[in-house]
Each structure stands twice: as structure tokens, then as C-alpha cells.
Structure 1
């Protein structure tokens, strides 16, 4: 992706990804509110996602057999990433979501860009030049994005709209679907698990660099991560939750939520890997605050959540921050277009990822 047109594709892909993330978060919260175990939910999600990815992965292997060979190094990287970046990622997220709310869960995701930047800087994938205006623009934009996303969840102020709910979801548990800050049976533990989830998520993103270099077929590597995660999640669930009554799906809503979450994960993982391969790990997570915007809008329309002035101000901050980041990235793409044309052979994402995003 050497030109600005390719950057537009990455922007569109990441916006779609954040819409999917917001939808999965809200529908998953509904399923968990029915009394479904988060551990069991993850097992079903990973199993369905594996089934969805299997035909696509093996068709990709059949079409490009030279790109899909897995050696010991590549399999070891995939195994490590599946343990931390998929299994631990999903279990901490959905358990944290169960103990808190969808708004808090999506707000905590705004920490991913900062954590990813720190990890990428530690391993040498990102560098900062304080004398570069492009670099300053992206740093400021990142800070504004993160601050805006957190502001949406934590800052209230006067209410703008009330009683806008369109649909009421039934609940077997006495958990209000208001998506309010105080929702959840153990908010501190939920926030801690969501923070661990952000670290696992950032680890997964950074690990796509060596994985894509070792095996550039994204569909094939994603399938293996889902497959290994299904086994790992099943083992964890059998060890932790030994209640056999936790496994049956009691409603179409629970089944639909699992399927939707699986489809969303399959699409999201592929988009994330592709964008990380094309633009680097930090740029691909700059859009994370958008999921907070999407989740808040959907929650206002379909639950009892109220829109406050603080939420609206945070949404504008997110948009402004994203604009600054995209402006800086566009300048980078113009600066490196000639370098990409001369050195990128398209075989893998190494050429794009070796160039610092924050110059």
C-alpha cells in the first residue's frame, strides 16, 4: 500500500471493523445478561469462527500453496499468539464485559493505541522524531482520540436526549441493560480484566508483524489461531466452570449472539491483520475510539442509555483526533511513496512495517 488511495482503503476497512466491534460488544452483553457463562460464550464463539474460517483458509492454501507453509518458527509464533492474543484476549474481555458494561468495555479499548505504541516502540517498529510536524500531529491526534473516547464514557454533564430506546431486550438476570457506568456485579475487577484484555490485544497486533513475515497468508494463519484458541478455551472452561448446565444454549438470542460474535471475529481479525500488514501496528489501532462512538449511539437507540453533553464532546474529540492522525499518515505516505515503489516486492508486509510510522 504505497499510495494515498491504498490508505483510503485501510481507513474504510478500519471504520467497518469498529462498527463490527461495537455491534459484537452490545449483542454479546445481551447474551451474557441472559445468564450465559462468559467462558462458554468464548468457546462457542471460537468454535463457530473456526468453522467459518476453515473453508476460506484451505481454499487459500490450495490457491497459493507456496504462501501457506508453516514451519516450526511460524507455528510457534501462532501458538504463542493464540494463547495470549486470542484465548486470554477473549476470556478477559467477555468476563470484564460481564462484570461491567458495554460502554466501559468499549471505552477501555481506547487504551489499545497507547499500549500498542509502547510495545511497538520497545521492539523497534515505531520511532518518534520530535522535530517532525507529521510525528507531532499523530501524537497529538492519538492523545485527543484516547481522551475523547474516555470522555464519552466517564464525563456526563447535562442530558441531551431521553427515552429514545427503540427495543427492550428481555433478561433472566436482574441486570439493567442501561449501559450505565455503574452496571456490573464487580466493576473494579471488570475494569482490571478489561485492562489485561487491552494488553493482550496490543500483543496480538504487534505479533502480526513476525507472523505475516513467516507466513503471509492471513486467512490461513487466522484459521490456525482460531482453531488453537478453540482447544485452549475449551480446556480452560472445563477446568474452571464444571457446571454442565452452563453449556446448553437456551434461546435463539444466545445462539444468534454467538454466531454474530463469531462472524464478527472472523471478519475483524482478517481486516486487522491486513491493515497491520499494510500500515503497521500503530496506525491500525488509531480507529479504536470509534467503537466507543458506535456503541454509545446504538445503546442510546436500543437501550435506556441517555446522551450527555460530555459524550457528544468526546465524540467530536475522537473525530478531530482521527483527522490529525490521518493527516500525518497521509504526509508519511507521500514521503515514502518512492521508497515503497522501489523496495516493496509485495511478497509480504516486511517492507511496509520496517518503516517507522511516526517520523
Structure 2
């Protein structure tokens, strides 16, 4: 049975695992924003980066999927294959190319801030596709709706109100003068276009989580699904990159920030992220997965100030505080929802779960013989025996 204290700790850790996984991923995404922005500023093509990123992810995660899920991997059907093609198009091709272009035209901090509309968009899409239920008579539903509104409000504050510059780090302050001209030029160039590109990538990302949740019901093998999405993203991304990038020199990378961006984003933000998001998505739903994205903005803002000497405005800090409150409200509401594993039992599974054991005289053991007996009306029928009327 084990020590009660150990069982309690194990139970607590099991409940915390989805939260820890999503929080850890936000650190990974924050690092991706910084590293990829550096490589893009140094001339790397975003289309080529998408291809290399998912090629690396495929090479890393495919062996684990082949070995660990060889016995549980479902058969591939046309319906699942088409969904995987759509997933590869939504996230690797559309979302990431728009995201990288948006980062080029804006900044890492701004890009990660605008992406914070992701939980709100996913929540709305989940309601449309009936993956999320809203009952305003229940406190958890009210918390999710209010949290979504608060999150969007925080993003609007960050986007529409800048305010004075806040030097939160002495290191950032000492470098701001040197990078002032570069940052100003970058901020003024195509800022509006970059904003719309990041919003477009967020819509694609939200649709990806919704479709991933639907696909996992037909193909419940998270590692294999992640590997197939990465493979499909590599193929489709390569077709787009070859059509756009006619200069073959754009495909050349050395031991520099370009290679680091491809390897880091491929392993952490595609291979590992797709798998962890699939596991949590299957258990807690797409809204829970996206609810943690505001944390990425806060981490990116700090890293951006240290590494890229990006300016942080008062509006960004105020918006960040508002977003944290919205995040807490949504996560609290989701924590009160029943787990997917508890709510997706079929009628047959429920009947088996509550069936009484039947004593087999030949084996003199108690067995769950639900297939050999039938309860109909007030009579209990058993194979080879006369139906017995139930005594009152």
C-alpha cells in the first residue's frame, strides 16, 4: 500500500504536473522569442528557419515515438491523415511564419504580449466547437469568462498605452543609449503590419489547439502525433520556402545564432512542446493549455531587457499585472472542472464500472462477467439457466 505521506505527495505531484509542464514551456517559448529574433535580425530567412526547426524536431522525437508507442499507436486513417496535414499547415507553416515576420517588424516583448490574446481566442473557439461548456450559474464558468475578459483588457492596455520608459534593470539602462537608434528604427518600420501578422499567427495557433484536441480523440498517441505534425510541417514548410526563397545561400547555416535558433526551437518549442501540449490538452482541454501564455510575455520582457536592451514601458507593466489576474482567474476556473478522463466514459464503460461481480461456480472465483449476463426489466438472464425473477 505504501506510506500515507508518500501517497499524498504522489497525489499532489500528479495534480501539479499539468501546471508545471505548462509553466516550464513558457520559459522555453520566452527563450525562443529572444534567440530567433537575434537570428532573424542577422539575416536568417524565417521560411528557412521554419523548415530547419521542424526537421530537427522530427529527427529528435520520431525515434521515441517509434519505440515507446509501437504497441499503442492506432492505425492511420484518411480522416486522421487529413487532420495531421491541417495541423502541420496551421502551426508550423502559417502560425510560425507570421510570428517570425511579426517579430521582425516589432520586438520580442511586443510579440509575446500580443500573443496573450491566445487564451481568449481559444476559449471562444472551444465554445463554438463544444469543447468547452459555459454555465454562468457555476462559479468556475464565471471565473473563466471574467478571466478571459481581464486578459484581453490587459493586452489592450499593453498595446494602446505605452507611457514612460521603466528601467527595471541596471544592465538594460546602461545599454539603452547604445541601442536607441536601432530600436527606434525597428519600432517605426512596419509596426502596424507586424501587429496584424502576430494577431494572424495567434488565430492560427488557437485553431491548432482546437484541432489537436479533436485529433487526439481519434489518434490518442501524443508522441506519434507530435512527430507526424513536425514531419508534415517540414514538408509543407519546405514547399513554401522553396517557392519564396529563390536564393540558395539563404539555406546555408554555420555554427552561429542561425543554427542555435533552429536546434533550440526545434527541440524545445516544437518536439517537446507539441508532445507536452498534447498530453495536457488531452487531459485538461485546449483552454487550460493556452491559459499560461501570458507568463511567457513577462519572462520575455525581462530577457529582452537583458539580452536585447529592449525598452519596457509603464503600460507594459500595468498590462502585465492585469493579465496575471486574468490568468489566475481562468486557471482557477479550469481547476474546478472535472478531468476529461472522468467525463468521457461511454455508456458501456459506465455500465461495466458499476456492474456487480458474478460468481462462477466452475472456477469458484469472483469475475466481472458483464458480457455473460443481461439485466432486462425485473429479470436476470444468465446463459444456460432459466431466468430468475428478482425477489422484492
Q: TM-score, normalised by structure 2?
A: 0.77
CA distance in 1, matches of 2:225, 2:342: 25
Could you list the runs of 5+ residues in structure 1 that have no partner in the other structure? 169-173, 348-359
Contact 1:61 1:220 in 2 (8 A): yes
Aligned to 2:66: 58
Aligned to 1:293: 298
Choose from 53, 67, 71 the match for 2:77.
71
Distance change >3 Å, CA 186–CA 311, structure 1 → 2:
closer
Aligned to 1:268: 273
Aligned to 2:335: 330
Aligned to 2:317: 312
CA displacement 1:75-100 (0-9 Å, x = unmatched): 12111211223321222211222222
Aligned to 2:342: 340
Could you list the runs of 5+ residues in structure 2 that have no partner in the other structure? 1-10, 350-392
Contact 1:93 1:197 in 2 (8 A): yes
**Match of 2:166, SS?**
strand
Aligned to 2:46: 38
Q: How far apart are residue 202 of structure 1 and its match?
A: 0.9
Distance change >3 Å, CA 193–CA 11, structure 1 → 2:
same
1:180-219 mapped onto 2 (5 Å cutoff)? 183=187, 185-219=189-223
CA distance in 2, matches of 1:181, 1:151: 23
Q: How far apart are residue 292 of structure 1 and its match?
A: 0.8
Q: CA RMSD in A?
A: 2.8
Distance change >3 Å, CA 150–CA 293, structure 1 → 2:
farther
Contact 1:167 1:303 in 2 (8 A): no
Q: How far apart are residue 228 of structure 1 and its match?
A: 1.1
Choose from 229, 241, 249 the match for 2:245.
241
- Paired positions, count: 332
CA distance in 2, matches of 1:144, 1:15: 20
Distance change >3 Å, CA 312–CA 67, structure 1 → 2:
same
Contact 2:305 2:312 in 1 (8 A): yes
CA distance in 2, matches of 1:182, 1:203: 30
**Match of 1:282, SS?**
helix
Q: How far apart are residue 341 of structure 1 and its match?
A: 8.4
**Match of 1:203, SS?**
helix
Choose from 15, 18, 34 the match for 2:26.
18
CA distance in 1, matches of 2:346, 2:288: 19
CA distance in 1, matches of 2:174, 2:275: 31
Q: How far apart are residue 132 of structure 1 and its match?
A: 2.1
CA distance in 2, matches of 1:258, 1:166: 30
Q: TM-score, normalised by structure 1?
A: 0.84
Contact 1:140 1:324 in 2 (8 A): yes
Larger radius of gyration: 2
Aligned to 1:356: none
Aligned to 1:353: none
Higher relative CO (CA 8 A, sep ≥ 6), structure 1 or 2?
1
Distance change >3 Å, CA 142–CA 8, structure 1 → 2:
farther
User: Structure 1 runs of 4+ off > 6 angstroms?
Assistant: none
